[in-house]
């Protein structure tokens, strides 16, 4: 998706809607993927449609070089393009309980031990960062261009693209990601999503 160009198309969910239960329910996954994610895609296409020179640029290129976007469309493209970027990564970096690596291993585990003092300390720091997001946003574990691990939160649909950092995992802490099941209990959602997060191999 990140290498895709206009017109953008909703990618299929990489698992069944109920695959993440009981931690994330099927109804939430349906609305989150098929409604919220699709709305960002539709709005991004609508914003780009008047500007054929932008069609050849990938989503990543648009977000990395916002100056190429005409000023009158820039805010709309970045907001909706950020929504497409964040959601695309989010759904890819989840896996049903019992599938995928829900704890880091190999080089990533070593780096987490070195940077945070162990997985439990990292998990606590990451969770607290996610809980501290005011309003809506995202919390990422990033690998910086200098090879360091960093936990960083982004408001609304901002992204880490311009920093050049590589996303490792991310949590969506917009209410639409959890409200149907958890209501206002963001901490319960954050505690449970660790059961379905997929850590990559480095």
pLDDT in tens, 51-64: 999 999 999 999 99
Q: How confident is the model at residue 102 (pLDDT cuts 50, 70, 90)?
A: confident
Class of residue 61 by CB neighbours under 10 A (exposed 0-12, middle 13-18, buried 19+): middle
Q: How confident is the model at residue 109 (pLDDT cuts 50, 70, 90)?
A: very high
Mean pLDDT confidence for 19-43: 98
Query: Given a cut of 90, is residue 6 above it in pLDDT?
Result: yes
Q: How confident is the model at residue 97 (pLDDT cuts 50, 70, 90)?
A: confident
Mean pLDDT confidence for 179-186: 97
Query: Which of 10-17's residues contact partners 24+ apart within 8 Å by CB, and which partners?
Result: 10/34, 10/37, 10/38, 10/41, 11/88, 13/91, 14/91, 14/92, 15/94, 15/95, 15/96
Q: What is the largest CA-CA distance in the chain?
A: 50
The pTM (predicted TM-score) of the whole model is 0.96
Angle between helices 119-131 and 186-193 (to 10 degrees): 150
Arch. (CATH architecture) of 106-193: 3-Layer(bab) Sandwich (3.55)
| Mean pLDDT, the chain, whole residue set | 96
Residue 99 is predicted with a pLDDT of 85
Q: Domain ranges in the chain?
A: 26-92, 106-193
Give the span between the Cα atoms of 94 and 192, in whole angstroms: 12
Query: Given a cut of 80, is residue 105 above it in pLDDT?
Result: yes
Given this structure, which CATH class describes domain 26-92? Answer: mainly alpha
Mean pLDDT confidence for 11-23: 96
């Amino acid at each position: 998706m990140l290498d895709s160009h206009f017109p953008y198309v909703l990618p299929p969910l990489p698992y069944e809607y109920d695959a993440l239960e009981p931690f994330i329910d099927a109804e939430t996954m349906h609305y989150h993927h098929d409604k919220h994610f699709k709305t960002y895609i539709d709005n991004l296409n609508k914003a780009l449609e008047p500007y054929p020179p932008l069609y050849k640029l990938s989503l990543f290129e648009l977000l990395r070089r916002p100056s190429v976007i005409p000023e009158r469309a820039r805010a709309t493209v970045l907001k909706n393009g950020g929504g497409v970027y964040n959601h695309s990564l989010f759904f890819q970096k989840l896996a049903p309980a019992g599938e995928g690596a829900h704890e880091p291993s190999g080089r990533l585990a070593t780096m987490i031990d070195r940077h945070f003092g162990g997985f439990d300390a990292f998990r606590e720091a990451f969770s607290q960062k996610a809980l501290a997001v005011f309003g809506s946003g995202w919390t990422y574990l990033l690998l910086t261009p200098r090879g360091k691990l960093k936990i960083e939160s982004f408001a609304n649909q901002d992204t880490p693209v311009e920093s050049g950092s590589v996303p490792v995992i991310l949590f969506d802490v917009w209410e639409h990601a959890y409200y149907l099941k958890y209501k206002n209990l963001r901490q319960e959602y954050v505690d449970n999503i660790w059961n379905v997060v997929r850590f990559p191999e480095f």
